[in-house]
Amino acid sequence: MGEIAGWHFQIVAALLFLLGVLGVLVRRNIIVMFMSIELMLNAANLSLVAFGRELGDSSGQIFAFMVMVVAAVEVAVGLAVIISLVRNRDTVNIEDASLMRW
């Protein structure tokens, strides 16, 4: 095992992000899609922190905190949306929420 270099982190982050994208695009369960979004956010966080450490600049880390706050807020709003969806339609399948269309 050699030293863990900066680009290792970036590859992990990219893989994580791709996983998230795939999840959002492919899965129909809205909760799973939500978790996939979290995955993308964390990929971004990882990338930010890694860059921050590599460049010796703390703003990357600070931005990661920022993203966490936004993610928390997003979860709060998103869960509310999901709960009202479940109450009204009795489903967590995103394709059943396609009322706004032609």
Partner 1 sequence: MDHVDDSLRWIPLLPLIAALLSGLWLMFAKGNLPRPVVIVLACGAPILAFAKSLWVVKDLATGFEPGQRYLVDNVYTWISAGDFHAELSFLLDPLSAVMILVVTGVGSLIHIYSVGYMDEDHRDDRGFQRFFVFLNLFTFAMLMLVLGDNLLVMFVGWEGVGVCSYLLIGFWYLEDHNAMCGQKAFVVNRIGDFGFLLGVFLLFWSFSAAGVPTVEFREMALSIGLLEGKTVQLPSWLSFLPGFPVWTLLTLACLCLFLGACGKSAQLPLYVWLPDAMAGPTPVSALIHAATMVTAGVYMVCRMSFAFSLAPGASATVAWVGALTALFAATIGMAQKDIKKVLAYSTVSQLGYMFLAAGVGAYSAAIFHVATHAFFKALLFLGAGSVILGMHHEQNMDRMGGLLRRMPWTGWTCLMGVAAIAGFPFMSGWLSKDEILLSVNLAHDVPGHSALYAIGVLTAGITAFYMGRLWFRVFTGENRADPHTQDQIKEQPSWILFPLVVLAVFSVVAGWGTLPDAYGDQFFGIRESNSLHYFLNHVAHSVHHEVDHSTEFGLATFSTGVAAIGFGLAYLLYYRRKGLEKQIVSAIRPLYRLVYNKYWIDELYQAVIIRPLLAVSDRVLSRVVDAKWIDGFGVNGTARFVVASAERVLKYAQTGLTQSYVFVMLVGGIVLIVYLVGGA
Binding site for partner 1 (CB under 8 A): 21, 24-25, 33, 94-95, 97-102
Residue 18 or residue 68: which is nearer to partner 1 going by CB? 18
Residue 61 or residue 97: which is nearer to partner 1 going by CB? 97
What's the rounded Cα separation, in Å, for the pair 32 and 49?
A: 25
In the complex, least distance from residue 102 CB atom to partner 1, rounded to whole angstroms: 4
CA 96 remoteness from chain centre: 23
Residue 2 or residue 98: which is nearer to partner 1 going by CB? 98
In the complex, least distance from residue 8 CB atom to partner 1, rounded to whole angstroms: 22
In the complex, least distance from residue 81 CB atom to partner 1, rounded to whole angstroms: 11
Residue 19 or residue 61: which is nearer to partner 1 going by CB? 19
What is the gyration radius of the CA atoms in the chain, in angstroms? 17
Measured from the Cβ of residue 41, the count of other Cβ atoms closer than 10 Å reads: 20
- Kindly provide the b/e burial profile for residues 1-31, where b requires at least 16 CB atoms within 10 angstroms of the residue's own CB: eeeeeeeebbeebeebbeebeebbeebeebe
In the complex, least distance from residue 70 CB atom to partner 1, rounded to whole angstroms: 17
